[in-house]
Amino acid sequence: MSSLGDVILSSTVLEVKTMHFPQEDQVDWLTSEEYASLFESHPRVRDLLTFHRKSGFLGWFHLSRLIWDRDYQEIDDLHVSLRTGVMRFLFFLWSIYYRKKPPVWKRLDKQRWRFFFYVLFKRFWPKFLRPTALVKRYAQVLGGTGQERPSLKHLLLEKKEDDQLRKLRRPFFCVMPGSCWEGKIWPVSSYLKLISQSSMPVVVLGRSSDWASVDLVKGLKELGIEHFSGIDRWNLPQSAWVLKEALYYLGSDTGMAHLAEAVGTPAIVLLGPSREDMGFGPWQSRSQTIGQSLWCRPCGKDGRYCWRPIRKQACLKSLEVEVVDDRIKKGNASA
């Protein structure tokens, strides 16, 4: 419920088909209100439960009581947070008070120790002890093979195309330069240089709170480069349509990269503090990650704690435009 990327990756469980969970079965799905639109028309979601994260403990208590009263046989905890831990504890108390058996509670294996030691020892940590892909772990919660992958193509069944965007010359690519964490942002000047070398127009994604997206649009206007600003323009289903129409996604390690993959568009993700083998890297065969081979990588998920004594956040700040441009061209040529 806390991040778009994790919500999209967790939808892998909706693609699982097993003897005990056949493809025609439906589930009740709980997520944060801001991500509910991704699942409102999903064919495997029977009832969509939402939670307003600012409603606090009282709101979570009432929601927990609602779920308890529904007498579910099984709950699959794909978040494994303090919040879901509180719900599980409440279920334990209520089971004693009402003398009723609580639902079976299955939890995602978050592999915290694998992650911790990989960050600590970095490239010296053995590959077989590094975190396995999140999509694989999500699928295994419900007994899947681990080969299942997220798919949100149901969002494309209803036409949500933007009439203004239709005027943009095709093909185009989408860029999401911003992130909640500054340590995951490639310099806007580098994006400008890369886009100026491209023969295709670009669509800039983001919100008005994403300063990198705002600065990029401002720079593109000043340079007279053909672009389309999608800042604050689309909701998540509409963004899915735009990403599906794009040749590829380019940008930070954000939920938009996973949304692009979930509708069939390859993602080119610029990684700084993290690495693709930390569990949450791109999973589509045509997608790729671009990052530098530095002694300090990985230092965490978001770059809040840079290990470097000098040249802080060099992993992205010193990533050369020519390297990114060359990798993109090679990737497009092979596709």
Q: Which pLDDT value is given to residue 20?
A: 77
Outline where DSSP puts E strands in 135-194.
173-176
Does residue 169 have a pLDDT over 80? yes
Local confidence band at 256 (pLDDT 50, 70, 90 cut-offs): very high
**Which amino acid is it at 37?**
S
Does residue 310 have a pLDDT over 90? no
- CA angle, 39 as apex, 36 and 2 as ends, to 5°? 45
Q: What is the DSSP string of 218-259?
A: HHHHHHT--EEE-TTT--HHHHHHHHHHSS-EEESSSHHHHH
**pLDDT tens figures, 260-308:** 999 999 999 999 999 999 999 999 999 999 999 999 999 998 888 888 8
Does residue 222 have a pLDDT over 80? yes
Q: Which pLDDT value is given to residue 146?
A: 92
Local confidence band at 333 (pLDDT 50, 70, 90 cut-offs): low
**pLDDT tens figures, 109-161:** 999 999 999 999 999 999 999 999 999 999 999 999 999 999 999 999 877 77
Residues 6+ apart with CB under 8 A from 54: none
Share of the chain above pLDDT 70, in %: 99
Give the chain's domains with CATH numbers: 4-151 (3.40.50.2000), 159-334 (3.40.50.2000)
Does residue 335 have a pLDDT over 70? no
Q: What is the mean pLDDT of the chain?
A: 93
Local confidence band at 37 (pLDDT 50, 70, 90 cut-offs): very high
User: Nearest 10 degrees: CA dihedral of 159, 162, 163, 167?
Assistant: -120
For residues 139-174, one letter each, b for 16 or more C-beta atoms within 10 angstroms of the residue's C-beta and e for the rest, the string is bbbbebeeebbbbbebbbeeebebeebeebeeebbb
Mean pLDDT of 27-31: 96
Single pTM value for the model: 0.94
